[in-house]
Amino acid sequence: MEKKITVLPGDGIGPEVIASAVKVLQVIGKRFNHTFHLGYGAIGGAAIDQFNNPLPDETIAMCAESDAILLGAVGGPKWDNNPTDLRPEKGLLKIRKHFDLFANLRPVKAFPSLLASSPLKREVAENVDLMIVRELTGGIYFGEPRKKTATGAVDTCVYSREEIERIIDNAFELARLRSGKLCSVDKANVLDTSRLWREIVEEKKKLYPDVQVEHNLVDSVAMKLITNPGHYDVVVTENMFGDILSDEASVITGSLGVLPSASIRGDSFGLYEPVHGSAPELAGLGVANPAATILSVAMMLQYSFGLIEEAAEIERAVSAVFDDGYFTADLAQDGTRVLSTDEWTDKVINEIDTSFVSESIMISYI
């Protein structure tokens, strides 16, 4: 298979975790005979510095020519006082909107060897395997009017029926492929957008009689994700609730540093990025955890290219390195070896390469 990927390293630890993920992608390409053509573009603070624009037209054009986008992270204190349109985050919001990537999938799955790093008791955190489906191109992130003056500020939460319908369909379909359980999260006791959301879920559920649906209020989900995260499978929610709940859910598994994401729109095109941010305080130290970005590559292989076996191989390799007791600093536990970003990445790569060698030896014996 031949695919074109636009790589957008971004800011902070973005370039470091992207370098790791690209290495893993190349090893997978070699092992499974795929050619991945990579083009690098600018986004976020790096793009502001170079082009005075967090999402330059050149970057958009490159992405439009590609089969998928792999993104690091954006943001940092250097640009914190910039006007809204010249903030790194604006680049991320614009690229999601420009390519209509309305469905953000954020899987949260416990790796058994990371459970000691979870703030929750082992018996609460183990067996967690949920998927947050976050609406990504609507709601309060994009609604108008929005403005700030010296005397006040306004943001607006807007959702059209169509925007809600498509994300709900997406979540039902995903629930069908998983355990058949869907939890829709809203704030229908207060917000009209939530009342419309709930109404649409009720309508849609007739089309998916095999899926068991429940409605939960967002404040209650925030609590239950800590007390009983194993209850959830597919969780669908609007943009801002999804942003908050996905950070909360991510630490259940031990570290935000291991959570990947896919932003998709119904065809095979997608944007893949770690859930974590640019962690500017860690930038350049070689200590960042590249697992989330490496696992985002696995999601890209699976969702955009349909390469299920290759995606599973990345997940297996990451899991095996954790099982061998190798961690980056964010996951350090007593008695484990703390590796740098590059050293940890090399372990993953060796894992993928070595199994290739041993497999071919097995075949020649048979």
Is the CB of 75 or the CB of 280 nearer to ligand IPM?
75
Is the CB of 16 or the CB of 135 nearer to ligand IPM?
135
Q: Could you list the residues that contact Mn ion (CB under 5 A)?
A: 243
Give least dist CB 364 to Mn ion, A: 48
89's contact among Mn ion, ligand IPM, none, with CB below 5 to 8 A by partner kind, is ligand IPM
Give least dist CB 113 to ligand IPM, A: 26
Provide DSSP, 262-327.
Answer: EEE-SSS-EEEEESS---GGGTTTT----HHHHHHHHHHHHHTT--HHHHHHHHHHHHHHHHTTEE
168: exposed, middle or buried (C-beta count within 10 Å: 0-12, 13-18, 19+)?
buried
Which of these is catalytic: 208, 243, 326, 330? 243
Is the CB of 275 or the CB of 339 nearer to ligand IPM?
275
- Is 141 catalytic? The answer is yes
Tokens of 234: 């597919």
- Is 243 catalytic? The answer is yes
92's contact among Mn ion, ligand IPM, none, with CB below 5 to 8 A by partner kind, is ligand IPM
Give least dist CB 310 to ligand IPM, A: 25
Pairing relation of β-strands 234-237 and 129-135? parallel
Which of these is catalytic: 169, 247, 346, 353? 247
The values of phi and psi at residue 327, to 5°, are -140, 160
Calculate the alpha carbon distances from 310 to 220, 295, 300 in Å: 38, 11, 10
Q: Could you list the residues that contact ligand IPM (CB under 6 A)?
A: 75, 89, 92-93, 243
Which of these is catalytic: 23, 90, 187, 204? 187
Give least dist CB 259 to ligand IPM, A: 10
What residues does 40 pair with on adjacent strands?
A: 7
- Is 347 catalytic? The answer is no
Comparing C-alpha atoms, which of 263, 270, 349 is closest to residue 3?
270
- Annotated catalytic residues are 141, 187, 219, 243, 247
